[in-house]
Amino acid sequence: MQKYSKTCLEGFLKNQGKLFDEPVAETPEEAEEFLEECMAVVVKSLKEVRRFLDESGMDVSGLSLEELKEVEEVFPLEDGTYLIVEA
């Protein structure tokens, strides 16, 4: 089980509308529970984002590193890491 940082939880709460039409969590506790349930991961770089998405079966070969930030499952976080939520 991954431990999600305060920055990660706040980033997800703030930007969950990028992926979901309605909020799936309203508190950091609910966000952590949701992220654990869907096995969300935090990676350190866009290269790791590309590798993860590629291994998950998503065709990201034609996307630039900047375009990877715009993929709806990818949440850039304030600390420079990236949260990937596969809904």
Domain borders along the chain are 6-84
pLDDT in tens, 52-80: 999 999 999 999 999 999 999 999 999 99
Claim: this prediction has a pTM higher than 0.85: yes
E strands within the chain?
41-43, 74-76, 82-84
